[in-house]
Structure 1
Amino acid sequence: MEKHDNQPSPASIMQIGSGFWASKVLLAAVKFQLFTKLAEKGKMSAQQIKAMLSLKCTDIHLYDFLDALTGFGFLHRDGLLESAVYSNSIHTDAFLDINKPTYIGGMLEMMNNRLYQFWGNLEEGLLTGLPQNEIKSGEENLFGELYKSPEKLLEFINAMGSIQNGNFNALAQLFDFSKYKTLTDVGGSGAMLSMMVAKYQSHMNCISFDLPAVEPIANAKIKDAQLSDRVKTASGDFFTDPFPKADVITMGNILHDWDESQKIKLLQKAYDALPEGGAFVAIENVIDDERTKNVFGMMMSLNMLIETGTGFDYTFSSFNKWTKSVGFKSTLIVPLTGAASAAIAYK
């Protein structure tokens, strides 16, 4: 029977509606560290995987789990059912083996451990405009709540580092640092952006600026990377304390945490910390001005509803308006990886 493209079809509706099924299959595999263990072993049968992960499900459900991962492209499979042997795809081997520096599973771990349950309350968030996470019961601030727990803080820092790994790498190589000598990364978390810039730009000295609780974790990561000579940390609250002055001020997934007035306040503080000719760089999932293409950016904005209540992701047009209002002379947008871009403003 001939298929007509203009005929209505429920396929995309069901694909999106059941999307949490697919998400949970991947998140469960990450939680089990399946890809890391397969990277160590090379290839494994279904029964070997079942024993390794201590799974008690029936064999058919084991095959369903592994073959769904295969169908999604996360695993390779030779053979079928009892005779099947599984191995990592090129993508999971590169990005979901925890022993590799390219590991991005930190964000997936946080999605599974925290965000999965909170997104179940998206309707309530939209109805009330209130956060749906740990601060739902009355805590004042997400970051204050996260930073109370060393385990949650480390998970959050690893998540922020993993989701931005490729973007920071791209920025460190694409942005023209030749005119500059110093950089301050505001809300620098585990100092990954500073370390990436120092790695690729040997003339740059960087400061990762964040709350005091973050400093020991960042310093440990800097020491492990053997970059302590050119990457330092500084502690403070970026709303109440001045930013360490530098030729370049960066923020990775920081502006989207806040409402418009607080975004502008942070931009003003960045402007004040820069010299004439200095650059401010925001690395975020900047939404296209027509709001039709960067759906991930819009979902990230909804995640800010879940996490903060008032934070939101934004378009380059909005970025232009805000930066102009605090005095920046010109702007530029540079695509990075996936849905992310660097929105740049020059003083």
Structure 2
Amino acid sequence: MMPPELENAIYGMLATPVLRTAEKHGVFARLIEGGPAGSEKLAGDLGLDRDTLERMMLLLTALRVLDLGDAGDFRVPAAVRPYLDRREPLFVGGFLEHLAEETSARLGRLDGYLKEGRPAEAAAPFGEVYRDEETMRAFMTAMWDLSYGASTELVTLAGLDGTARLVDVGGATGPFSVAALRAAPRLRAVVFDLPAIRPLAEETAHAHGLADRLEFAGGDFFTDELPAGDCLAFGYILSDWDDETCVELLAKAHRACTAPGRVLIMDRLFADDRTGPPATAAMNLVMHLEMAGRHRTAAEFAALLERAGFTDCEVRRSGGEKHLIVGHKNRR
């Protein structure tokens, strides 16, 4: 019999598109909001083909994304529900869309990269993301879904009560800033990102009732200096870039950081021996296909911080996939 690990790896290629298609057509929303149902009832409620839907549901059941009761009713398990409920901060629908519709289209690059290496011209990855408003909005939604839920825990780990001004570098529509402002009522924050993102970031600030405390500063962190603050944050940014670029960005953060201050790096971390976890290893490959960087160990991130001038680096691990690395400037 095939080892289950290999079986899951082989047939896992079907999981993401099936998950995305089911979410897109409201299958999980119907089960979460309307309760357990069989394939016939679900197909009727959603106007879908029963045979196709049932086959998809059986695959998701085998993958333990769904439970199947004795009466033939499918249900979303409690442990899975927060990630598939559009009303929850841990919802991953936008990220699923990005993986199924953007990342999957780039998997064909692997063969060429493997034989010839990643071409130098592939090092400017964001042109595709900003090619039009629809694509940019979809990417920002994916980043929000990937970031906001984790940010609520990372904000607690960061301990921002004594922070006056947070600068969210490359903060997109502000998932970390929003979580931080909700946790620290006296905090003010500025999202620094490309000018094209301003309308979406301002939408977010107004939607969350934070327009008076959350501002947007347009700029390019490669060519511009960063806004000043006593805490600068890089949320899932540095894994997009190579080591030298990361040191340059962190050096800019060191110059912008008012002392005593600190920098926060939030990202996935490889285990010290780089044997996992699987999600980090998977996204490390995605970084190679979509961006220009990689995922790192905690020690590698600390080394980058020290090269940029930060000291007393520490790692604060969360209960999830993303963790916090802190570097200090002129710590008392």
Larger mean Cα displacement after TM superposition, 148-157 or 285-294: 285-294
SS in 1 for 2:265: strand
SS in 2 for 1:275: strand
C-alpha separation between the residues in 1 aligned to 2:214 and 2:248?
A: 26
One-letter amino acid of the counterpart of residue 283, structure 1? M
1:97 aligns with 2:116: no
Q: Report the equivalent of 1:274.
A: 257
Q: Report the equivalent of 1:68.
A: 59
C-alpha separation between the residues in 2 aligned to 1:305 and 1:145?
A: 15
C-alpha separation between the residues in 2 aligned to 1:294 and 1:105?
A: 22
Deviations 1:78-136 (A, max 9, x none): 335xxx222322244322122344422111111111112322432323333337xxxx9
> TM-score by structure 2 length?
0.91
Tell me the C-alpha RMSD between the 2 structures.
Answer: 2.2
1:327 CA displacement = 1.2
One-letter amino acid of the counterpart of residue 22, structure 2? A
> Are residues 101 and 293 of structure 1, via their aligned partners in 2, closer, same or farther at CA, if it must alter by over 3 Å?
closer
Identity among equivalent pairs (%): 28
Q: Report the equivalent of 2:170.
A: 187
Within the candidate set 290, 307, 313, 1:325 is matched to 307
Q: Which runs of 5+ in 1 are unaligned?
A: 1-7
SS in 2 for 1:206: strand
Instruction: Say if 2:158 and 2:324, in contact at 8 Å, map to a contact too.
Output: no
Instruction: Say if 1:36 and 1:99, in contact at 8 Å, map to a contact too.
Output: no
| Equivalence map 1:328-347=2 (5 Å) | 328-347=310-329
SS in 1 for 2:149: helix
> Are residues 192 and 258 of structure 1, via their aligned partners in 2, closer, same or farther at CA, if it must alter by over 3 Å?
same
1:205 aligns with 2:188: yes
1:63 CA displacement = 2.9
One-letter amino acid of the counterpart of residue 72, structure 1? L
| Equivalence map 1:161-310=2 (5 Å) | 161-308=144-291, 310=292
Instruction: Say if 1:139 and 1:145, in contact at 8 Å, map to a contact too.
Output: no
Q: Report the equivalent of 1:110.
A: 98
Q: Report the equivalent of 2:6.
A: 13
Deviations 1:17-51 (A, max 9, x none): 22212333323222323112323322333113223
One-letter amino acid of the counterpart of residue 17, structure 2? K
C-alpha separation between the residues in 1 aligned to 2:54 and 2:64?
A: 15
> Are residues 26 and 252 of structure 1, via their aligned partners in 2, closer, same or farther at CA, if it must alter by over 3 Å?
same
Q: Report the equivalent of 1:4.
A: none
Q: Report the equivalent of 1:312.
A: 294
**Equivalent pairs, count:** 329
1:74 CA displacement = 2.6
Q: Report the equivalent of 1:148.
A: 131
1:259 CA displacement = 1.4
SS in 1 for 2:258: coil
Larger mean Cα displacement after TM superposition, 146-155 or 12-21: 12-21
Q: Which runs of 5+ in 2 are unaligned?
A: none
> Are residues 48 and 196 of structure 1, via their aligned partners in 2, closer, same or farther at CA, if it must alter by over 3 Å?
same
> Are residues 151 and 328 of structure 1, via their aligned partners in 2, closer, same or farther at CA, if it must alter by over 3 Å?
same
1:44 aligns with 2:37: yes
1:24 aligns with 2:17: yes
C-alpha separation between the residues in 1 aligned to 2:46 and 2:326?
A: 46
One-letter amino acid of the counterpart of residue 130, structure 1? R
1:78 aligns with 2:69: yes
Q: Report the equivalent of 1:124.
A: 112
C-alpha separation between the residues in 2 aligned to 1:290 and 1:202?
A: 40
1:283 CA displacement = 0.6
C-alpha separation between the residues in 2 aligned to 1:40 and 1:179?
A: 40
1:312 CA displacement = 1.1
One-letter amino acid of the counterpart of residue 26, structure 1? L
Deviations 1:239-260 (A, max 9, x none): 1111110111001110011111
Larger mean Cα displacement after TM superposition, 44-53 or 209-218: 44-53
Structure 1 segments, 4+ long, off by >4 Å, are none
